[in-house]
Structure 1
C-alpha cells in the first residue's frame, strides 16, 4: 500500500497578494537571532536584495513595522524585530503548529483509503 502524506501550506494575503508565509517567517526568525538582514539572507541562501525587499514590504504594508533597521556605519548595519513583529511571528508559528497537528490527524483518515 502506498504511503500517504497530507501537507498543508499556509500564507497570509493582503489585497490579494502574498504578504506572509513560511519564508518570511524564517527570515524574521534569523533576523531575530542574528541581528542582521545580511546574515539572515546568507543563512537562507537568499540574496541580500531579496531579503531587504521582503523586510521593506512587511514594514510598509502592515499597520506597524516588523523590523527596525540601522543602516551601515563602522560596524555595518543591524536589524531587530519590533514587539509587533515578534508577536506576529509567534502567532504565525502557532498557526503552523496547529496545522501540522491537523495534517497528522488527516493522515490517519487517508490511511484508510
Structure 2
C-alpha cells in the first residue's frame, strides 16, 4: 500500500502515510513499516513520524466570511469563542481561556450576532443546571460548516502547493 505514494527518493508525505494508517494498519504498524523499508517521511507537522530534517515549505491559509459591507461574519477567532462557550457554558470562562477580557468577548459575540442577523447563544441566569450560556442549533451549524469549509480550503491549498512547489518530488 505504501509503494504508490512514494516518490523517486523513497519518501512519503506525512498526510499520505496517516491516510494509509487510517485504512487499517494503524500508526504503530505504519511507523514500523516505514522504518523497515527505510522510507523517509516529508512534512510531518503533527509529530506522528520521525522525519528526516531538511528545508521545508508549508502553506498556511486563513479563512473568514464577510458580509457585503465588509463586516466580519465568521472566522477562526469567532469559531474558537463559540466552541469555548459551548464547552464551558459561560462567556466569562470562554474569554479567560482565550486570554481576552470579558467585554471584548461580549463585543465579539454581539458583533457576530448582529452581522449574521441570527441569535447564536441563549443565556439563562441563576445557579441551576439550566443556567449559563448555551449555543443555539444555528451556532452549531455555522461552526460545523465553517470547519468543513476551512478543511476543504486547506486540503485544496496543500494539494495545489504540492503541484506548484514540489514538482517532481512526489
Alignment TM-score, normalising by the size of structure 1: 0.86
Larger Rg: 2
Match of 1:17 in 2: 71
Structure 1 residue runs of 4 or more that deviate by more than 3 Å after TM superposition: none
**Alignment partner of 1:10: what SS?**
coil
Asked if 1:6 corresponds to 2:71, the answer is no
Asked if 1:50 corresponds to 2:104, the answer is yes
Asked if 1:104 corresponds to 2:158, the answer is yes
Residue range with higher mean Cα deviation, 88-97 or 61-70 = 61-70
Rounded Cα–Cα distance in structure 1 between residues aligned with 2:55 and 2:160: 15
Rounded Cα–Cα distance in structure 2 between residues aligned with 1:91 and 1:4: 28
Rounded Cα–Cα distance in structure 2 between residues aligned with 1:56 and 1:18: 12
Q: How far does the alpha carbon of each residue in 1:85-113 deviate from its partner, in whole angstroms, 9 at most, with x for none? A: 11011100111111121122123121239
**Alignment partner of 1:96: what SS?**
helix
Runs of 5+ unmatched residues, structure 2? 1-53
Q: How far does the alpha carbon of each residue in 1:27-78 deviate from its partner, in whole angstroms, 9 at most, with x for none? A: 101101110001111111111111101111122222321111235x457x72
Rounded Cα–Cα distance in structure 2 between residues aligned with 1:112 and 1:3: 14
Match of 1:63 in 2: 117
Say how many residue pairs are matched: 111
Using CA pairs below 8 Å that are at least 6 residues apart, which structure has the higher relative contact order? 1
Runs of 5+ unmatched residues, structure 1? none
Indicate conservation of the 8 Å contact 1:28/1:81, yes or no: yes
